[in-house]
Structure 1
């Protein structure tokens, strides 16, 4: 970004703050939700896929700041595409969890 607009700068700042908050929530999800789900062996496909996607998303976000300059273009596009996939995959994971819970009559 040679000459970013104020809007772009504000969007990136908001994205950065949101990412920091997300990482705290993601850590909590790993500590509680994922351990329980793994023990119950419930919603494994979308859940483990979500875990992998979110982990790579966090790594590529970090890579945008700390990787060598020549890697930035590939990391940027990987990060963008994974973020877009997550926008659809997370609701799918939640919906599958609700369906599985209802089909097994679990409270």
Structure 2
């Protein structure tokens, strides 16, 4: 289960397009700040701040490999967010299926009345 504070931090972190792009890049594998900064016209410091926000949200973490400090995506954290979203998506889909069934019943009833 994901607590409200974790959800707030994660969704706030993902609200920024640069951070979403960083998460998308990290989904292909770890990368350094320099590698993550390449596609953006922003400073390395700005990219580091974005990474810090993602770290605080629990979406990424850093390791040290000699002189390198690669950033890694926490796939389990994304899975928890997906599970939270899916719970509500499935509930909404069930409601829509019930509505579709009611509408179909109403149409069948109306068709029977017309043919009688």
TM over 0.5: no
Larger helix fraction of residues: 1
Question: What TM-score does the superposition give when structure 2 sets the normalisation length?
Answer: 0.27
Question: What TM-score does the superposition give when structure 1 sets the normalisation length?
Answer: 0.29
Larger strand fraction of residues: 2
